[in-house]
Chain A
Amino acid sequence: MIEDEAVISGMGRSDVGRRLGQDPWRLTVDAALAAIADAGLSPDQIDGVSTYPGATGTTPGMSGAGVDDVRALLGLRLRWHVGGNEIPGQLGSIINAILAVAGGLANHVLCFRTVWESTAQAQLGGRSETMRSRIAREATQWREPYGAGNATYGALWMSRYMYESGATREQIGQIAVVARAHAALNEAAVYRTAMSLDDYLSARMISDPLCLYDCDVPVDGSIAVVVSRADSQEIDRSKAVSFRAVGSASGMDNCANMMWGRTSLTPADVDVAQLYDGFSVLTMRWLEALRLCPRNGAGYFVEGGDRISLGGELPLNTGGGQLSAGRLHGFGGLYEACLQLRGLGQGRQVKPAPEVALVSTGVSDFSSCILLAV
């Protein structure tokens, strides 16, 4: 299995925050150099780069740097690289790196995700302005006359999910409330003030039934990890995080089924989960797709919040998730999973020390999930 051939040898992060006003190349370089140093490597040992979505046409702030930017900035001598958005979810860049390492095309692949949406939106005058500046306008002609925005898709998913499953806002709200409680223990999270279920229920509606706290928070920041050959003698092996299984299939259910089909581990073995929360309803859908709870049973599973809190049976989004720690677009969850597996969670460390962590990213047919272990 390709998963046995590679490990995460290092991880790094830049400053993360609202409207930092830093150049996205600065953020990228800070995260990349931190990850390379964490792995015990130097930039001249990095021979691969993998990123999503690369220097492609996106809404402003969605892509902070491309492969070639990083190659030039760090003076990398690359044997292999790929950057693009038509890959299996944001974690697809990690799966690409595993493939390159397992296939012998690279020894140490730098993977990164940089966003600067918070600054871009402030400069342009809001989310709706950045949406209108999208290059591929053709695709929007079927939604623009109706006043559809990104959050209205979240609202339509949530409305349908509540209809199919019977889940309530009181239940779904626990995804946001528990994330905020975890963020309070994470100095790097952007929203750390206490939030109750009543605060959630009385929050401003964006698009019923989706309220403000169902939406993740645009931030500026970069996360990088290094994916290295599992048999490398150059890395600091005490820090290595292993891959147990990847899911790259199109669609959350297919993705989860593929991942569980590549390992003898089962959902009961998962000690901590970082599931995509671009909207809180997506986390509900991932919980069910990954069989961490029964179909249509996520509402019951998260009710009251205890099961998904630190000390619960499945600590979820332990760094605060994208809802409270900021939209690092799946890589925030990956970073937090590695942190927990390496026992570096400080005040939010899951106890006893987790051995298996699950990360998922994406929505609908754009999805990926990875099972990690130490």
Chain B
Amino acid sequence: MHPPRPICSRCLNSDVIFEPVSGKGKIYSCTINRYAWSPDVDPPYVLAEVELVEQSDLRILTNIVGCDIDLVAVGMEVKVAFERVGETWIPVFAP
């Protein structure tokens, strides 16, 4: 599940742990954003929902990096990369 919750919505078990995933996925939907919503992120940039290969409907909101933004499309296969934001690292995806 994503975002993580303390209870599993399928079996209601509270014994939920973090599990590594392959980091591979497919773009479910994407957009080239051109508006400055956040002072920390300069437009244009690609926002996407990426569906992970481990489970259908397991989707993560993310940025697509490392390619020409005009080439990003629904259905494209992508792989996780990590970018530093302040003191933490966030998952982003690249072709």
Contacts and interface: CB of A to CB of B under 8 A. Distances in A.
Q: Are both chains from one complex?
A: yes
Interface of A: 128, 131, 142-149, 151-152, 155-160, 163, 204-210
Q: Which 3 pairs between the two chains have the least Cβ-Cβ distance?
A: A147-B41, A149-B37, A155-B31
Contact of B31 (A131, A144, A145, A210): A210
Contacts of A149: 33, 35, 37-38
B33 A152 contact: yes
Contacts of B3: 142
Nearest to A142: B3
15 contacts: A128-B36, A146-B47, A149-B37, A149-B38, A151-B35, A152-B37, A156-B47, A156-B49, A160-B29, A204-B34, A205-B32, A206-B33, A207-B31, A209-B31, A210-B31
A344 to B, nearest CB: 38
A4 to B, nearest CB: 38
A271 B61 CA distance: 40
Nearest to B43: A147
A210 B47 CA distance: 13
B74 A155 contact: no
A131 B33 CA distance: 16
A206 B45 contact: no
Contact of A144 (B35, B38, B45, B62): B38
B49 to A, nearest CB: 6
Contacts of B23: none
Given A128-B36, A128-B37, A131-B37, A146 B63 contact: yes
B27 to A, nearest CB: 9
Contact of B34 (A128, A158, A160, A205): A205
A171 B36 CA distance: 28
Given A146-B92, A155-B31, A156-B29, 18 more contacts: A128-B35, A142-B3, A142-B61, A144-B38, A145-B85, A146-B41, A146-B47, A147-B38, A156-B30, A157-B29, A159-B74, A160-B29, A160-B74, A206-B33, A206-B35, A207-B35, A208-B32, A209-B31
A207 B32 contact: yes
A210 B92 CA distance: 22
A279 to B, nearest CB: 12
Contacts, number: 82
A156 B61 CA distance: 10
Nearest to B75: A163
A109 B29 CA distance: 42
A158 B43 CA distance: 19
Contacts of B8: none
- Residue from A142, A157, A158, A208 having most chain B Cβ neighbours under 10 A: A208
Interface residues of B, number: 28
B29 A148 contact: no
A206 B2 CA distance: 27
A147 B61 CA distance: 10
B31 A156 contact: yes
Interface string B63-95: 100000000001100000000010000101000
A152 B32 CA distance: 9
Nearest to B85: A145
B74 A163 contact: yes
A169 to B, nearest CB: 13
Nearest to B38: A147
A144 B38 CA distance: 8
Nearest to B29: A160
Contacts of B29: 156-157, 159-160, 163
B35 A148 contact: no
A207 B90 contact: no
Given A142-B3, A148-B37, A208 B61 contact: no
B34 A207 contact: yes
Nearest to B3: A142
B43 A146 contact: no
A167 to B, nearest CB: 13
Contacts of B2: 142
Nearest to A163: B74
A152 B47 contact: yes
A129 B41 CA distance: 14
Contacts of A206: 33-35
